[in-house]
Chains A and B, each alone.
Chain A
Amino acid sequence: MTTHTLLQLALRSAAVGYVSLLILFPLAAIAHQSFIGGIDHFIEDISTPQASSALVLTLEAAFLTTIINAIFGTLSAIVLVRYEFPGRWFLNALVDLPFAIPTLVTGLMIAAIYGPTTILGMWLQEGNISLLYAKPGIVLAMLFVTMPFTIRSLQPVLMELEREQEEAAFSLGASPWTTFWKVTVPSVLPGLLTGVFLTFVRALGEFGSIVIVAGNIPMKTQVASVYVYGEIESYNPQGATSVSVFILLISFLVLVLLERLTRPPGERMPRWFRWSKRPLPMIHPSEIG
């Protein structure tokens, strides 16, 4: 064995070891713990009224958050990449702030602006809209912490997008609207999907800001992560791990799907799943220059 292959082996083991130590082993541990009483126990744990209500609420809120941030994140990314305006650099710098702020502080910030003693809060109260300790508050908190994902994953692909592709579409008779949907969106789709899926899984796990903004009202504002926290506090680690593992499973499936969908076109679906019966053409490496 040469030094070179030895080095390669060492590097590979280091990478595998690092990922295993940090992610795989803890995952295995919690999965083991949740299934220790068998699959029946797991299903029982996640289908108690309180647990299932928390899970449904979490999925609902995360879904809504994902849609809103996909739309506004896309628009913001386009504006930040394509248009010059005073203060653009400042806005661009602000985008990362949700990553930097502790989520508890995020919760405090939202409470401070929409609280019942503020002008905005009073105005909302007059209109009989409850934001804090209600579902909209949860969505608001999730929106805040996941805002950077769509924008940051779209920005580079938008910058890379050649204006020429759009011009080519124009020259073939496509209107700007058609060009946007048939050329621009598909070209930036991998970036968009990354942003959207990360938003979703991040929203599923949010805890700090939600516990402050929406509180911990079972069956009403209690999301999955808050439920897990409550179960740990009340010495029910079994219930806590089962709900955690369920959320983890969903996240894992979403991320596996994302990995597939962001591959180059033509390689996205597993071979057995491709619609076309035509075999993929064999490509000799020398043909690609």
Chain B
Amino acid sequence: MKIEVRGLTKQFGSVQAVSDVSFTVKEGELLGLLGPSGSGKTTVLRLIAGLETPSGGDIYIDGKRVNDLSVQDRNIGFVFQHYALFKHLTVFENIAFGLKIKKWKPAEIEPRVAELLSLMSLDALEQRYPHQLSGGQRQRVAIARSLAPRPSVLLLDEPFGAVDAKVRQELREWLIRLHDRLNVTSLFVTHDQEEAMEVSGRIIVFSKGKLEQIGSPAEVYEEPATEFVARFIGAMNILEGQVLNGIVKIGSLKFPAPNISDHVHVKVGFRPYYVKVAEDPHRYRQPATLRHIYFLGVAYRLEIETEEGLILRSRMNKEEFRQYRLEVGQPVSFAVTHFRFLPQEGISFPSSASSQLFDAGPLTP
């Protein structure tokens, strides 16, 4: 069942929580709503569920306008960040709750709950009460409870926000497997970009109640539609400058901008792994000083300072790092191999202006 939202708006008093948001969740898709806290993503989810009433716009589930349907009649499954399990009921009774409400016969309830218990690996826990479960188990019960009455869509509000990092990773993998198996149209809210990237087929990035971008994880990462997306998804170096004779000169760095007229202010963005750093001060064209080394587990992040005082972040893999004997404070050389001009309001750049090879090669053969 697909979900469609058109011109959705929600006003809380004088606060515009959601403004003019439109998007479609395709049938069977797992879509992530990503944004910082307070960006309105949870409100969008609650509006779709019917837990809040929109100030404007329309919501369609499976082609049917549901604005006037109560939450009870929308046939949705909702998973809350803090589980919201019924504390006075056992795991079995929690999962069976929706089935009893929908007047399933006891003979049908029993096998359905058993099916979900085994699907969520909760088999041995059916007689326990929520306070006798771990955080990860509780959230699995909550997911099972929401799925039991066969909802047409599944809505998850920061479902892994309340558990520790290791369990969060497990639950993510759970959700992916579960979705692969049941294929129920799912929309989940998160403020964790890594989680959104890993779990969802497509991502919607939110900021201040507005939809910033919708696309696959690779698209939002490689081709951010707005400066906000560029800053929010992954790390990015962002420099500001002015175009002069088809070139943006920022300190000693030069970025060709052949299709942009002179005197336009632009923002240049490049990911840390496009900043190549070498121990040899003459290997690349640009000189700098190494200021910090951060160990990230899978790689290292270096912070370098150019002669003009610009601070840039670089990413270096472990093998490369091991070859050099880098020490904080030592002179290094660097080059920026890829960059893009960040979209700004009122200015549109030809796509050819982005992602060009620049200054990549070594200075001397």
User: Which of A182, A288, A289 has the most chain B CB within a 10 Å cutoff?
Assistant: A289
8 other contacts beyond A164-B82, A287-B137, with CB at 8 A cut-off?
A162-B82, A173-B102, A174-B101, A186-B86, A186-B88, A189-B88, A281-B132, A289-B135
Interface string of A232-272 (1 = CB under 8 A from B): 00000000000000000000000000000000111000000
Q: Does B217 contact A (CB under 8 A)?
A: no
What residues of B have a CB within 8 angstroms of the CB of A172 in the complex? 97-98, 101, 145-146, 149
Check: B127 CB closer than 8 A to any chain A CB.
Answer: yes
- Tally of chain B residues near chain A (CB < 8 A): 40
Whole-angstrom CA separation of A287 from B125 in the bound complex: 12
Q: Mark B264-277, 1 if CB is under 8 A from A, else 0.
A: 00000000000000
CA A182 to CA B87, docked complex, whole Å = 11
- Is residue B77 contacting chain A, with contact meaning CB distance below 8 A? yes
**Pick from A164, A178, A287: contact of B84, CB under 8 Å:** A164
B298 interfacial by beta-carbon distance below 8 Å: no
A149-167 CB mask vs B (1 if < 8 Å, else 0) is 0000000000000101101
A interface residue count range (under 10 / 10 to 19 / 20 to 34 / 35 or more): 20 to 34
**With contact pairs A162-B82, A281-B124 given, residues A174 and B72 touching in the complex (Cβ less than 8 Å):** yes
Interface string of B243-260 (1 = CB under 8 A from A): 000000000000000000
Q: Are B88 and A173 in contact (CB under 8 A)?
A: no
Contact check, A173 vs B84: say whether CB atoms are below 8 A apart.
Answer: no
**CB of A101 closer than 8 Å to a CB of B:** no
Cβ–Cβ contact B82 & A175, under 8 A: no
**Interface CB pairs A-B, < 8 A, 24:** A162-B84, A164-B84, A167-B78, A168-B78, A168-B85, A168-B142, A170-B70, A171-B51, A171-B71, A172-B145, A174-B72, A175-B72, A182-B97, A186-B86, A265-B89, A266-B129, A266-B132, A278-B127, A281-B127, A283-B128, A287-B133, A288-B131, A288-B132, A288-B134
Chain B, Cβ-Cβ closest to A167: B51
| Cα–Cα distance between A283 and B130 once the two chains are bound (Å) | 12
Residue numbers in A under 8 Å from B98 (CB-CB): 172-173
Total A-B contacts with CB atoms under 8 angstroms apart: 94
Shortest distance from the beta carbon of B108 to any chain A beta carbon, whole Å: 15
Chain B residues, CB < 8 A from A59: none
Contacts of A265 in B (CB 8 A): 87-89, 129
Whether the Cβ atoms of B128 and A173 lie closer than 8 Å is: no
CA distance A162 to B137 in the complex (A): 19
Cβ of A183 < 8 Å from any Cβ of B? yes
Residue of A nearest to B73 (CB): A173
Question: Cβ of B134 and Cβ of A167 under 8 Å apart?
Answer: no
Q: Check B72 against A173 for contact (C-beta < 8 Å).
A: yes
How far, in angstroms, from A266 to B76 measured CA to CA in the complex?
31
Residue of B nearest to A264 (CB): B131
Q: Contact check: which of B73, B84, B127 meets A276 at CB < 8 Å?
A: B127
| CB-contacts of B85-121 with A (<8 A) | 85-90, 97-98, 101-102
Task: Say whether A187 faces chain B, with CB atoms less than 8 Å apart.
Answer: yes
Instruction: Judge whether A68 is part of the interface by a CB distance below 8 angstroms.
Output: no
Does B49 make an interface contact (CB < 8 A)? yes
Choose among B87, B89, B125, B134 the residue with the greatest number of A CB atoms under 10 Å from its CB. Answer: B87
For the complex, what is the distance from the CA of A55 to the CA of B135, rounded to whole Å? 52
Q: Say yes or no: is A169 at the interface (Cβ < 8 Å to chain B).
A: yes
- The answer to whether B84 and A165 touch across the interface, beta carbons within 8 angstroms, is yes
Please tell me if the beta carbons of B78 and A280 are within 8 angstroms of each other in the complex. Answer: no
Smallest Cβ-Cβ distance to B130: which chain A residue = A265
Considering residues B51, B86, B164, which has the most beta carbons from chain A within 10 angstroms of its beta carbon?
Answer: B86
Q: Which of A38-93 contact B (CB under 8 A)?
A: none
Least CB distance, B81 to chain A, in whole angstroms: 8
B72 nearest CB neighbor, chain A only:
A173
Task: Name A171's contact: one of B87, B127, B128, B146 (CB within 8 Å).
Answer: B146
B276 to chain A, nearest CB (A): 44
Counting chain A CB atoms within 10 Å of each CB, which of B73, B133, B164 scores highest?
Answer: B133
Q: Is the CB of A171 within 8 A of B78?
A: yes
Instruction: Check B80–A167 contact: CB distance below 8 A.
Output: yes
Q: Point out which of A164, A186, A187, A288 has the most chain B C-beta atoms below 10 A from its C-beta.
A: A164
